[in-house]
Structure 1
Amino acid sequence: MGGVAGTAGVNPYVQLVRAPAALSVLGDTVTGAAAAGRPLRGRRLALPLASVAIYWSGMALNDWADRELDAVERPERPIPSGRISAPRALGVAAGLTGAGLGLAAVAGGRDALKVAAPLAAAVWAYDVVVKKTPLAPAAMAVCRSLDVLLGAGRSGAAKALVPAAVLGGHTLGVTALSAGEVHGASPARAAGALALTSASAAAAVSGRGGAPAHRVAALAAAAGYGVSVGSKQYAAVRKPTAAVVRTATAAGIHGMVPLQAALAARRGGVLGAGLVALALPLAKRLGRKVSPT
């Protein structure tokens, strides 16, 4: 995914890894942990950091893999602009991957590594091999789903399959639409993303049981998600120009936060959901300085 944002004076490494966008990733492990009934406490608090490190590695690897295309379409990015060399960017990606796996091992031992290792492998496969194929949106969705399962661990993965699938479905739509950030998209593609957003919002609040307070909190977060993301995607359906698609893509990335909050709250993680929701205003503010895409 690519985009345009004012980057004057921004550290090139911050731009390379899309540092502020990591705020939209923290809630993945919170959501998975809530679904599995394994709150993030003690050493497990390192799981969101492991998730962020692997996410940042993917962003650096993305720019390394796209360096020739970016020289034409996005010359302001760190590699084509000459602020970071291609070998250095690849080294950053490898280092962050190692850091993510190390943090996962500290947080959850083999149980966490059994998810973190496939997640890291999926990220590298996406950026290096799959991204330029029709399977790219599905591959990105798999990465996001695995990130949710990281919070649950291998032993709790079965309980977190639904929220993992919901966030994966949302990612599928956002990634497919983001292909039109430079040259525009088709109304059908934008409509597909909107349909997935609607389905994700409904799935986030579905299910039986749960305390009334949890259901109300989930409904409020899901409504915020549906409106904030859906309105931008509807605009892309009506006018799928590159500029409108970029706006819809950025909204989709930021929309991860209220969707995570809805999923966590529905499964009893109201405190975690509240903390996740606090990341949204900061993510939007920082996103004006460093593009999240």
Structure 2
Amino acid sequence: MSTFRDWAQLLRVSALFTVPGDALAGAAAAGGRADLRTLRAIGCSLCLYEAGMALNDWADRGEDARDRPNRPLPSGRIRPGAALGAAAGLTGVGLAMAARAGRPAAAVAGALAATVWAYDLKLKHTHAGAVAMGAARGLDLLLGAVVTGHTPLRPAVALSSAALAAHTYAVTRVSRHETTGGSSLAPFAALATSAVISTGLVLQGLRGRGRDVGAGAAGSVLAYWPDASAVGGPARGSRLSRGLRLSRSLTAPALAATYGTAAGRPYLHAVLNPSPPLTQRAVGGGIRSLIPLQAALAAHAGAPALGGALMALAPIARRVSWKVSPT
């Protein structure tokens, strides 16, 4: 009989911690508040992500029998029909949750679900596969943006979505060589991509241009900071206020630099030695580094407190990945 650990391995539960940040970063970029609709968007994202994991292994069960016979399906620990049923059920639940969040969310979730199924069933082993994966992450962030009720198609949303999509595209290209290794080009391209994204966010933050929704989100629960002028009188409040503003201005570039380091180190190792183990580590590191990227994007959108909160997921994801691989 299948065990909880079997299903945890099939569904890659350690990678789940990279999902909530998509919707939250999208809400921050749109200048909205996190509310019940945002939670429904996160629930939809989690369901569709897990549906994709189950469907991926169902579609690849023949290939895995040759290259990864210890996975739950080729080893017989989970029946193929059960995996396919789980994918269909999770997709249905995810779409229902999106529908409860409103028509815009339902439309984006429908496009996201179609992208996930198309990738797993048809596009994965084609040149369009990595593009589809990147599009899925971009749509996931857009899902969090549209549920806010604010105008989602603003520069902050477009840039955040593009950054997530580019990162995911690069990781997917590296994952093509997980079992065989031998390619330095894919991890080098991923290293360059993460360096460009990280450097761009750092420079943008240092120039003070990374908070194009900051004024509109100042009262948001996503971007709260204490009122320094009410602490210890005007003089002390003024000094404390300047300190808080400085802290806010440094949070975004610091998180961007953290992302660049987290993503770049495993990619560099795979460039220098493109063996299957190091390539797999590069893929896992690329997946987990989505968390600091989401945190940096939220901070640049005017929600530094949210960015710091998202970073709390990083050590949890790392610890769980020691027991259940995210790839």
Length-normalised TM-score, structure 1: 0.93
Moved more, 195-204 or 212-221: 212-221
Helix, strand or coil for the counterpart of 1:281?
A: helix
Q: Which of 17, 21, 29 is equivalent to 1:35? A: 29
Matched, 1:100 2:69: no
Q: After TM superposition, give the deviation of residue 76 of structure 1 in Å.
A: 1.1
- Please give the alpha-carbon distance, in whole angstroms, between the structure 2 residues aligned to 1:51 and 1:88: 21
List aligned pairs for 1:134-283, cutoff 5 A.
134-153=127-146, 156-159=151-154, 160-205=157-202, 206=204, 208=209, 210=211, 212-283=246-317
Query: Counterpart in 2 of 1:109?
Result: 102
Helix, strand or coil for the counterpart of 2:153?
A: helix
Q: Structure 1 residues 215 and 136, CA, compared in 2 at 3 Å: closer, same or farther?
A: farther
- Please give the alpha-carbon distance, in whole angstroms, between the structure 2 residues aligned to 1:214 and 1:158: 25
Q: After TM superposition, give the deviation of residue 40 of structure 1 in Å.
A: 1.4
- Please give the alpha-carbon distance, in whole angstroms, between the structure 2 residues aligned to 1:209 and 1:25: 23
Q: Structure 1 residues 11 and 55, CA, compared in 2 at 3 Å: closer, same or farther?
A: same
Q: Is the 8 A contact 2:210 2:300 kept in 1?
A: no
- Please give the alpha-carbon distance, in whole angstroms, between the structure 2 residues aligned to 1:185 and 1:100: 38
Query: Counterpart in 1 of 2:240?
Result: none
Q: Structure 1 residues 209 and 224, CA, compared in 2 at 3 Å: closer, same or farther?
A: closer
- Please give the alpha-carbon distance, in whole angstroms, between the structure 1 residues aligned to 2:305 and 2:166: 25
Q: Which of 45, 49, 62 is equivalent to 1:55? A: 49
Matched, 1:132 2:125: yes
Question: Of the two, which has the highest radius of gyration?
Answer: 2
Q: Which of 90, 103, 114 is equivalent to 1:121? A: 114
Q: After TM superposition, give the deviation of residue 44 of structure 1 in Å.
A: 2.5
Residue identity in the other structure for 1:223: A
Q: After TM superposition, give the deviation of residue 216 of structure 1 in Å.
A: 1.1
Q: After TM superposition, give the deviation of residue 214 of structure 1 in Å.
A: 3.6
Length-normalised TM-score, structure 2: 0.83
Residue identity in the other structure for 1:90: L
- Please give the alpha-carbon distance, in whole angstroms, between the structure 2 residues aligned to 1:203 and 1:141: 19
List aligned pairs for 1:63-74, cutoff 5 A.
63-74=57-68
- Please give the alpha-carbon distance, in whole angstroms, between the structure 1 residues aligned to 2:273 and 2:14: 28
- Please give the alpha-carbon distance, in whole angstroms, between the structure 2 residues aligned to 1:198 and 1:277: 19
Q: Structure 1 residues 60 and 76, CA, compared in 2 at 3 Å: closer, same or farther?
A: same
Q: Is the 8 A contact 1:149 1:164 kept in 2?
A: yes
- Please give the alpha-carbon distance, in whole angstroms, between the structure 1 residues aligned to 2:48 and 2:151: 21
Per-residue CA deviations over 1:91-114 (Å, capped at 9, x if unaligned) read: 1001111111111122x2112111
Q: After TM superposition, give the deviation of residue 185 of structure 1 in Å.
A: 3.6
Q: Is the 8 A contact 2:138 2:165 kept in 1?
A: yes
- Please give the alpha-carbon distance, in whole angstroms, between the structure 2 residues aligned to 1:215 and 1:202: 16
> Which runs of 5 or more residues in structure 1 are unaligned?
1-8
Q: Structure 1 residues 43 and 153, CA, compared in 2 at 3 Å: closer, same or farther?
A: closer
Q: Structure 1 residues 73 and 156, CA, compared in 2 at 3 Å: closer, same or farther?
A: farther
Residue identity in the other structure for 1:101: L
Per-residue CA deviations over 1:268-291 (Å, capped at 9, x if unaligned) read: 122221221111100000001111
Query: Counterpart in 2 of 1:6?
Result: none
Matched, 1:83 2:67: no
- Please give the alpha-carbon distance, in whole angstroms, between the structure 1 residues aligned to 2:252 and 2:201: 7
- Please give the alpha-carbon distance, in whole angstroms, between the structure 2 residues aligned to 1:232 and 1:219: 21
Q: After TM superposition, give the deviation of residue 135 of structure 1 in Å.
A: 1.5
- Please give the alpha-carbon distance, in whole angstroms, between the structure 2 residues aligned to 1:275 and 1:185: 38
Q: How many residue pairs get matched? A: 285
Q: Structure 1 residues 134 and 33, CA, compared in 2 at 3 Å: closer, same or farther?
A: same
Q: After TM superposition, give the deviation of residue 212 of structure 1 in Å.
A: 4.7
- Please give the alpha-carbon distance, in whole angstroms, between the structure 2 residues aligned to 1:156 and 1:191: 37
- Please give the alpha-carbon distance, in whole angstroms, between the structure 2 residues aligned to 1:209 and 1:142: 23
Residue identity in the other structure for 2:307: A
Per-residue CA deviations over 1:18-52 (Å, capped at 9, x if unaligned) read: 11211011100011100001121133222112111
- Please give the alpha-carbon distance, in whole angstroms, between the structure 1 residues aligned to 2:186 and 2:39: 38
Query: Counterpart in 1 of 2:229?
Result: none
Helix, strand or coil for the counterpart of 1:157?
A: coil
Per-residue CA deviations over 1:126-150 (Å, capped at 9, x if unaligned) read: 0001001122111110111001101
